[in-house]
Amino acid sequence: MSDTDLLKGLIGCLDLTNLNDDCDSAAIAALCAKAQTPHGNVAAVCIYPRFVAEAKDHLSGTGIKVVTVVNFPDGGEDTVAVEAATRQALADGADEIDLVMAYKALAEGRPGFAETQIVRIKRICGDTLLKVILETGELQDAETIRKAADVALAAGADFLKTSTGKVATNATLDAAEILLTAIAETDKTIGFKPAGGIKTSSDAIAYFDVAKRIRGDAAPNPALFRLGASSVLDAMIASIEGREETKGAGY
């Protein structure tokens, strides 16, 4: 597969994201328009819960999913509040939920709390896709990242996601390797989503290459692989069209 064809496939795996503090209705409209490209639609837009209903209206008939975040970005321990936010997001029409694991509890030696919170949110989600954000850059060491992955998988995560994009260190290829290895060692069909700091076509391809090497992914498949980013889409389109990439700012 040529890099051009691969990038077209990866556009279809992109969760195009706006989780900026100043996001407003105009920005959501622009994001939803941008999500529909001449080279195919992205998989989803990822936005704050308060914009879910608006995004659903903008994307009606496109096949593009609406993803929202809960327990974001802190990965807190008020599970009742997270449950309420999840129920509201689903009522508003969210197609997928990205939950920040209570990663600080896990790092402090309380993995049971983190696991129970995920179990409770998955129970509310039912068949709705649940991606669990591990915040790997804050967990730092490989052993703790692997522990977080195993906890999330045991609790029913449908996807493992690296990062919120709100901390100093977000997605890394080393973290990707750990998460994908954990997934590969299960007998479940679990997706993987690197997020935060993915800026160039080369970045996008590098993460897919790790998934291909470890899991044998033959081609980009949004059921198994997503990219969480706000700025990489422009770079991917530029590369597909033979133009120079400009490294954008943002998630």
Per the annotation, the verdict on 166 as an active-site residue is: no
With residue 161 as reference, give the H or E element that holds it: strand 159-161
Per the annotation, the verdict on 104 as an active-site residue is: no
Per the annotation, the verdict on 217 as an active-site residue is: no
Decide if 168 contacts 137 (C-beta within 8 A).
yes
Catalytic residue among 122, 147, 161, 199: 161
Catalytic residue among 122, 131, 193, 199: 193
Task: Provide CB contacts within 8 A for 202, sequence distance 6+.
Answer: none
Catalytic residue among 8, 65, 95, 98: 98
> Going by DSSP bridges, is the β-strand pair 227-229/14-18 parallel, antiparallel, or unpaired?
parallel
Task: Please classify residue 114 by burial: count the beta carbons closer than 10 Å to its beta carbon, then call 0-12 exposed, 13-18 middle and 19+ buried.
Answer: buried
Task: Provide CB contacts within 8 A for 93, sequence distance 6+.
Answer: 52, 53, 56, 66
Q: Which residues are catalytic?
A: 98, 161, 193
